[in-house]
Structure 1
């Protein structure tokens, strides 16, 4: 059985329809009049056929053997007129459209905690495999950049349209020490948007970024207007990490700066919330997946959070995330043409069926 919550979520995902000329919907009342007139004429025809059986031989009454067929064409015409009335009212809906994605920057966490084996074979290897799958899923025209992030962050592969180069860069990544999650996001942001380098550098140097107005959050430089989070369509950042950070600017500061530039930061949590005890170089510690931080980053930038904890989860992540990157532009679109074409198609079907069954168009 379908869960009630799932059903409600499916309904909420349906596009909300509005009308540019809603007053034209009053024409629907005429359809009720036409339907009532058809019912009245059909009953009158039946009574005539009963009172004057001889009329059947000259075709002035509908043959009884036609049965339900005689109602199909009028019903299709009625639905066609309803669709055309919707078209006259100029409906519009908020739809998810193909994005104009040009560049994706993948940030891979190489910190010591990524050596944990709560995700087989290791967290870092699972992140690499998911990143490779995401690269393979990108259209040929999309550029991919790779940022390696540990105690510091650096560009391992500048933006390239060569999937082989991007994949090779991912395979070269090796675990290191330290975790500067904020630095990794800032390097990715400046790789995607070089104009953000000024504020990114100030954050890295532990300075106050430029602000617009009292109480404003992190914003771009003064000569650049802040935009809505998630509104930058040509690019996106995907962060593969377990969420732990112990160096550099805070993760939330970096997320706020990305949001101020409209850049989406999709976060992929690698690990399990309960974690595992990791022993490296004589020290042991329990390393857990910090989902709260990764969810905050995704929410602040208008993106989504995903989690990898096993092989099936990894496949789901790159399938869903690949779809989000390809179709993540929501816009209000007029859908008049759809209803007009639907109405014309139904009217044509009604005419052809009537011609086929009764030898006349209607």
Structure 2
């Protein structure tokens, strides 16, 4: 635990003075009561009735909580209601038809993704991005698992592999107010025209870099079976993610080199493991190689248990103030109740 205003903790040593003042007032009351001839008055002023000490004790605790709250305590606590988003970025290039991962790489990736969704806690939103020569948001982040399964079943393979584009598109989805423009990054000022479906974006925002992996509200899981052939540089996109604190967990699928043939066409499938490992390292994520369907499923199962983002750095001032208020109300209520019964 830490404090935003630790200088106010110097008020805490004043707390022992309050019990001392209370005892002094009690003694004064007893001395004053001795002047009267009524024995009942003397007994009432004495220490025989323990209940009359409870409200002052609660009030003392309320003061302690208020002094503690003034220093604005901060701690990492579980917040199960906080929004968490996982974006799955899946390679749908033509090499995903290769059957070295049974029945095919694409089918194995689809099955593993569905298993991942089934085991993931229901309060975590999941989005789906597909990429080959270009990148698309196949399904915006949602809690609707059926919609995600439908999107996974509808994968369409294309030419090319734009790994960097997939990362940039994920960041644009996570930070819509940052003005990230994938088209501008891909084509620069030479891009002409926009699709009617393009949403207006704010101008690019300067982002103050944070520690890699420090953004606890989202993570990206990237699956690829090849190397970048077009689009934004993969490591440049990874740098953008690292500056925003977003972890990228990378899964390399299939063989690491060689050429395969499917439907009579040669498919070049050399996996760029050094670059993919660097993406994971730069962003504070993990790299896994999956050479079989069983290995791919185990990787997704492992990642599902790691990306639940259970704790957040949270200021506790409001909670401490609520406790102080409840203690003060309880002290006042008990004092009024027991004074009437006396």
- Is the Cα–Cα contact under 8 Å of residues 249 and 286 in structure 2 kept in the other structure? yes
Partner of 2:127: 145
Partner of 1:12: none
Correspondence list, 1:146-165, <5 A: 146-165=128-147
What is the alpha-carbon distance in structure 2 between the residues aligned to residue 322 and residue 260 of structure 1?
24
1:261 has 2:221 as partner: no
- Is the Cα–Cα contact under 8 Å of residues 97 and 327 in structure 1 kept in the other structure? no
CA change 1:97–1:291 in 2 (3 A) is farther
Correspondence list, 1:1-362, <5 A: 102-198=84-180, 200-206=182-188, 221-273=204-256, 275-280=257-262, 283-327=265-309
Give 5+ residue unaligned stretches, structure 2: 3-75, 190-202, 314-342
Q: CA deviation at 1:298?
A: 0.8
TM-score, normalising length: structure 2: 0.60
What is the alpha-carbon distance in structure 1 between the residues aligned to residue 77 and residue 150 of structure 2?
37
- Is the Cα–Cα contact under 8 Å of residues 128 and 171 in structure 1 kept in the other structure? yes
> Please, which moves more after superposition, 245-254 or 135-144?
135-144
**What SS class does the counterpart of residue 326 from structure 1 fall into?**
coil
Deviations 1:20-79 (A, max 9, x none): 9xxxxxxxxxxxxxxxxxxxxxxxxxxxxxxxxxxxxxxxxxxxxxxxxxxxxxxxxxxx
What is the alpha-carbon distance in structure 2 between the residues aligned to residue 155 and residue 261 of structure 1?
20
CA change 1:286–1:226 in 2 (3 A) is closer
Deviations 1:253-301 (A, max 9, x none): 111111111111111111122x453225654244232221211111111
What is the alpha-carbon distance in structure 1 between the residues aligned to residue 270 and residue 77 of structure 2?
38
Q: CA deviation at 1:159?
A: 1.2
CA change 1:311–1:154 in 2 (3 A) is closer
CA change 1:330–1:192 in 2 (3 A) is closer
CA change 1:330–1:308 in 2 (3 A) is farther
- Is the Cα–Cα contact under 8 Å of residues 108 and 147 in structure 1 kept in the other structure? yes
Q: CA deviation at 1:162?
A: 0.6
- Is the Cα–Cα contact under 8 Å of residues 207 and 244 in structure 2 kept in the other structure? no
What is the alpha-carbon distance in structure 2 between the residues aligned to residue 102 and residue 230 of structure 1?
14
**What SS class does the counterpart of residue 180 from structure 2 fall into?**
helix
- Is the Cα–Cα contact under 8 Å of residues 116 and 276 in structure 1 kept in the other structure? no
Deviations 1:325-349 (A, max 9, x none): 0257698xxxxxxxxxxxxxxxxxx
> Please, which moves more after superposition, 316-325 or 95-104?
95-104
- Is the Cα–Cα contact under 8 Å of residues 255 and 269 in structure 2 kept in the other structure? no
Give 5+ residue unaligned stretches, structure 1: 1-18, 21-93, 208-219, 332-362
Deviations 1:170-226 (A, max 9, x none): 11102221111111111111112213333645422347xxxxxxxxxxxx9554322
CA change 1:97–1:126 in 2 (3 A) is farther
Cα root mean square deviation, aligned:
3.0
TM-score, normalising length: structure 1: 0.57
CA change 1:315–1:96 in 2 (3 A) is farther
**What SS class does the counterpart of residue 307 from structure 2 fall into?**
helix
